[in-house]
Amino acid sequence: MKTKEGKKASHPLLRAVLAILGLGVFFIVAAGLLPPRNLKTPWGVRERTSRYVAMPDGTRLAVRVILPARVEAGSRIPAVAEMTRYTTWYRRKFLYNLMINLGLEGVSKEPVRRFVDAGYAFVAVDSRGSGASFGTRPMECSREEAADWGPIVDWIEGQPWSNGKVASYGVSYSANTAELAAASGRTGLAAVLSLYADFDVPGENAMPGGIANGSVAAWSTGNIAEDKGIVADNPVVAGVAPVDGDRGSRLLKAAQAGHRTADLGAALSRITYFDEEIAPGYDADSLSPYGHREAIGKAGTPFYVRVGWMDSGTANGAIERFLGYPNPQVLVIGPWSHAGWHFYDPFLASGAGTPELDRAQSEEMIAFLDALLEAGGGAKGASTGASAPAAGPAGAAAPASGKVIRYYTFGEGVWKTTATWPVPGFTTRTLYAAADGRLSGEAPSAARAADRYEVDFGATTGTTNRWHTNYGGGRIGYPDRAAADRGLVVYTSEPLARDTEITGLPVATLEIASSATDGAFFVYLEDVAPDGKVSYITEGELRALHRKVSPPSPERATLGPRHSMAAADGEALEPGKPAELRIGMWATSVLVRAGHRIRLAIACADADTFARIPAEGGVTVDILRDALHATRLELPVLER
């Protein structure tokens, strides 16, 4: 039984515990309410500052600068600059301040934190007509937006901390603008870091094969709302942050009130051909960085380019850039989702999570830049993540001249290097559609043979495919395709006698006769394991209206059969009459093991991703496989 003295003795302990708890609560509340520290730098300004910078036409752009605090007085440093339409700085809520002040922000600081820690200034610019910037957006990646890069580089060079060297940087949309910076003609632009960019926006993302990607509409709607200052409820941020000194957000409100943003999703849904006008002075082709190729090539700015094999069609665009631009280039093609946030290999697992992938990505960019921009006190010799194959290949130094591609091979988990494309040593193997769903090495000899397909317009590759990751950076996942294939037309080879690597651009030629005047055709390259599991490797798609094969373009390198998607080349199908569709698939590198089989699967819909063509009604398609009309698959292979 406790004595009164014992009870009294426990009171000080209880008070001490309550005091400690109270102090902890106080610090947590303070950490959530107080803004993150913002120290003075040797240049007499704070680590983080923001202001408006006027463009030659008078439009004021919001520019946010983050400087390294730990540099010697009197030093000059290079800058990494990003121009984005996604808003560069938000008002922080309690939870976000808490995360920053307690050091819990983690991956969201990548790669800005590492650029700054490596001795670079980081300059973030809200593209005109977005964020806190003034102006309008007559079209995404507009000519005016591209032209803003020149004055921004000039402004950076004029800062007291600048050594006169700038690298443009971006991921996704801002990777496109980073590439446009090279067209500015500014000698101070010493490098371009372009990650997961769309070299050909309509052809490799928004309308591949001329078929509308439904994700564009939601993307465009979200952008328009944010440009107007309408933001979804969020536990960590509360709308766009004003620049320093904008009391009461008066300037921010004025900028947002003047924002006018073109609805790209609606514009693309109205067109059939890439040379149709989608806004005054713009057609679908004008959205793409390759339209500035002459100025970019003349500048000769070195490029570091990073893409994922499964990130929409961006790998093809990156290879086209590699082949078409004379600029020195390091091109890295890996097993990643959009933005490189998630590892994906259909045959191999990895323990590499988003923080590890992001860190390796940042360090590789810094290794590339350090040799070019002379960062002050940076991470020279830092690890490039070579010890983690999922994260990236070893080495990232920019070649003094020339180019290099480092690419990952699915199913093997090995990084390889080539200076040319196609990769030397591969030969073309042709496999033909044959009776009983076989894919044969022998050309057909029958006078007439076909397989009839009553089109299943509910066929889908799901909502975690290569197209959906491009709009948000979500994980990629293709479940076992065996069940889905039962609703498609499939042709499967005999088991392979040897391990066989496929690296390059597979091409499928469909010989068809349709009951409709148009249609969307999808071809899938798949691996069939001995236990029956079916793994997606890559795909291609083409709207029948655009099937005419055009001669190679003098303006750009073309991988596989080229379809102009222009009005002059459009040709409707004649119901019941044979027609040929040559479909270049998205490039890949994969090792198909001995004992596995190769499959060509054919569909006429991908319901969760692409527009239905025709919009209504049933359709019957005959897949022809006779001597005159041989449906076939061409693969770049190397047997082991």
In sequence order, the β-bridge partners of residue 53 are: 61
Active site (annotated) includes residue 154: no
Residues 6+ apart with CB under 8 A from 9: none
Tokens of 496: 């392979």
Do residues 314 and 339 touch, judged by C-beta distance below 8 A? no
Where are any strands of DSSP class E within 264-402?
277-279, 282-283, 303-308, 329-334
- Between β-strands 620-624 and 90-92, what pairing exists: parallel, antiparallel or unpaired? unpaired
In sequence order, the β-bridge partners of residue 637 are: 427, 502
In sequence order, the β-bridge partners of residue 416 are: 407
In sequence order, the β-bridge partners of residue 541 are: 522
**Cα dist from 365 to 35, 305, 331, 379, 383, whole Å:** 30, 9, 12, 11, 11
Cα–Cα distance measured from residue 532 to residue 480, given in angstroms and rounded to the nearest whole number: 9
Closest residue by Cα to residue 333 from 235, 417, 443, 227: 417
Chain centroid to Cα 312, Å, comes to 7
Do residues 196 and 314 touch, judged by C-beta distance below 8 A? yes
Active site (annotated) includes residue 311: yes
- Crossing angle of the two packed helices 173-181 and 149-157, in degrees rounded to 10: 70
Active site (annotated) includes residue 172: yes
**Cα dist from 230 to 220, 235, 605, whole Å:** 14, 15, 35
Catalytic residue, from 50, 172, 337, 535: name it: 172
In sequence order, the β-bridge partners of residue 261 are: 137
Where are any strands of DSSP class E within 389-465?
403-409, 414-418, 427-434, 438-440, 450-454
Tokens of 415: 């990084």
What is the DSSP annotation of 18-37? Answer: HHHHHHHHHHHHHHHHSPPP
Do residues 134 and 59 touch, judged by C-beta distance below 8 A? yes
Catalytic residue, from 126, 148, 198, 311: name it: 311
Cα–Cα distance measured from residue 16 to residue 36, given in angstroms and rounded to the nearest whole number: 30
Instruction: Name residue 187's amino acid.
Output: T
Do residues 190 and 373 touch, judged by C-beta distance below 8 A? yes
Cα–Cα distance measured from residue 166 to residue 187, given in angstroms and rounded to the nearest whole number: 9
Catalytic residue, from 292, 338, 546, 629: name it: 338
Cα–Cα distance measured from residue 255 to residue 262, given in angstroms and rounded to the nearest whole number: 16
**Cα dist from 450 to 435, 575, 582, whole Å:** 8, 16, 18
Q: Which residues are catalytic?
A: 172, 311, 338
